[in-house]
Amino acid sequence: MTRTLASTFLALFAMLATASSSHSSSIQQMNYQFSYEGVARQLAPQPVHAACDKCPPATGLTLAQRQSIPVAVRLSEDIVPAEPPPRIESREATVHFAKSSHALNDPEKAKLTAFSQTAREILSRGKGATVTVKGYTCDLGSNRTNDRLARKRAETVGKFMTSQGVLPDSTVGEGKCCYLTQDPSQRHANRRVTVSIAENGGKR
């Protein structure tokens, strides 16, 4: 009796195995191949399992294996670091005058001579630069008198700069304006001319 049951069970198991084998997927191991133009990075080829297209539903005796595909990542174009903005250089010099005078003394001429050398170096770079000359006065005297004196001071400095090979783009005078100090004992600081040069990135 026991032997008969065992024989029947083995026969049934063999039938189930045979049926499962006839419907199961044909599964084999193969290397994954992938090509894509412009791919920046790709996973190394790995052995994967390829399953048939008409696999039966998974049961206790069959297994439909889901295929896993390595991902190839497309990167954007190479990122080029942005160039830093160009350095814009500027320089300024200030010379002073005696009361009611537009004449340059020797120490002030020496200041302008040194500044002219710096200005020529900046202009030689060919990037374009603007040279500006502005004349000022103290608060003594009438507006008309001071406006005229401020212009004469600016013109004196402009002519000196031109003699040094630096041609001003603008020469203006503003009397009774833009004081450096309101202290009556320091009025001499307001009797001045400023000359400046600044790169502007264009051609003169």
| 204 residues of the chain, pLDDT tens digit each | 555 655 666 666 566 555 455 444 444 555 545 555 554 444 455 554 545 556 666 555 554 455 455 555 565 566 677 776 666 678 999 999 999 999 999 999 999 999 999 999 999 988 889 999 999 999 999 999 999 999 999 999 999 999 999 999 999 999 989 999 999 999 999 999 999 999 875 443
Question: What distance in Å separates the CA atoms of residue 155 and residue 13, rounded to the nearest whole number?
Answer: 116
Please tell me the predicted confidence (pLDDT) of residue 126.
Answer: 83
Which residues, other chains included, contact 34 with Cβ-Cβ below 8 Å and sequence gap of 6+? Answer: 42, 45, 70, 72
Please tell me the predicted confidence (pLDDT) of residue 202.
Answer: 42
Long-range Cβ contacts of 180-189 (<8 Å, 24+ apart): 187/99, 187/138, 187/139, 187/140, 188/96, 188/99, 188/138, 189/96
CB distance 122 to 199 below 8 Å: yes
Please tell me the predicted confidence (pLDDT) of residue 4.
Answer: 61
Please tell me the predicted confidence (pLDDT) of residue 55.
Answer: 60
- CATH 3.30.1330.60, domain 90-199, yes or no: yes
